[in-house]
Structure 1
Amino acid sequence: MTRALRVLLIDDNATERLLAEEAFALTDDLICTLTMASSGPEALARLRSPEAVLPDVILLDINMPVMGGFEVLSALKDDPKLLLLPVVMFSTSHAEADVTQAYTLQASAYLLKSPDFPLFLKQVETFILFWSGAHLPHRSKRTTR
């Protein structure tokens, strides 16, 4: 049996985290677990702890205080333990400079957050389906939930 896809959402906005939690919960038929961090430093501390269970993919907001998404992305890609983790920038920014910077820093993708909840839910479903089927070096296809 394929184990659940593990997703880590890093977003400082409590409302955005709540909406994401709701959207992921509404995808009952898709096997996925969502964990959340409210800041870059919190996420990096968790990921770097010796007992950390690494996510299969990270959804990362760009605009966060203290440590912005691009700083978090750079830190992830500079860490030998974390550099292979796929990171999807998840933002409301349409700015071409943000998209370019994300890919320059080795983001796996750049996803615009839909302000419309039904479309946002569809984005989450498509995201889960894509990453559940992706061949990732740290995700065994033959484990249990």
Structure 2
Amino acid sequence: MICGMALPFHYLLVDDSLQDQLLAREAFEHLCPECLLTCAGSGREALELLQAPHFQPDVVLLDLNMPGMSGFELLREMKSAAHLVHIPVVILSTSSAQQDVSEAYTLHASSYLVKSSSFAGFLEQLEKFLHYWQASRTVNHGRQGQQR
């Protein structure tokens, strides 16, 4: 079990694939049942959630290729909004194109992960991801807590 902190860690997954959302829910339930995972099926839906006064995820997992508002567009919106700029955004995409990786980092993504094609690989990716961000939270908790 990865979690165990007083406040549950809150993640927002933005992905238009219902299958990927279900896989993520299953992986989170297995790896970190105390964590909160909210799923949004589009960039526009995620932006609406992020505009809500008391909705403040610790980390956003963002797919790039979505109809309507793309992941790049959502990332651009988040990094230009004062109340959202501090939220880490991790790209979780099937694209390994160097242009996509470069653009994501240019737009200030915190990290870029290419989705594993197997569930076992995806679990391993998520486990490393959860360890990293939860360790980061303990280091930065005081600073982020002041911004909320």
Same fold (TM over 0.5): yes
More helix by share: 2
Question: Structure 1: 5+ residue runs without aligned partners?
Answer: 141-145
* Partner Cα distance (1:13, 1:7) in 2: 17
* Partner Cα distance (2:124, 2:99) in 1: 26
Asked whether the 8 Å contact 1:3–1:31 carries over to 2, the reply is: no
Change in Cα spacing, 1:139 to 1:19, as seen in structure 2 (3 Å) is farther
User: How many angstroms does 1:139 deviate by?
Assistant: 4.6
Q: Deviations over 1:48-81 (max 9, x none)?
A: 122x220000000000000000000000001100
* Partner Cα distance (1:101, 1:71) in 2: 11
Q: Deviations over 1:98-144 (max 9, x none)?
A: 0000000000000111011111111111111110110343258xxxx
**2:105 aligns with one of 94, 103, 118:** 103
Question: Structure 2: 5+ residue runs without aligned partners?
Answer: none
List 4+ stretches of structure 1 deviating above 4 A.
none
Counterpart position of 2:122: 120
| 1:78 aligned onto 2:80 | yes
Question: Quick one: which amino acid aligns to residue 37 of structure 1?
Answer: A
The alignment's C-alpha RMSD in Å is 1.5
**2:18 aligns with one of 8, 14, 17:** 14
* Partner Cα distance (1:74, 1:85) in 2: 12
* Partner Cα distance (2:127, 2:48) in 1: 28
Asked whether the 8 Å contact 1:11–1:64 carries over to 2, the reply is: yes
Asked whether the 8 Å contact 1:56–1:139 carries over to 2, the reply is: no
Q: TM-score, normalised by structure 1?
A: 0.90
Q: TM-score, normalised by structure 2?
A: 0.88
Aligned length: 138
Q: Secondary structure at the match of 1:9?
A: strand
Counterpart position of 1:23: 27
User: How many angstroms does 1:2 deviate by?
Assistant: 3.2
Question: Quick one: which amino acid aligns to residue 56 of structure 2?
Answer: L
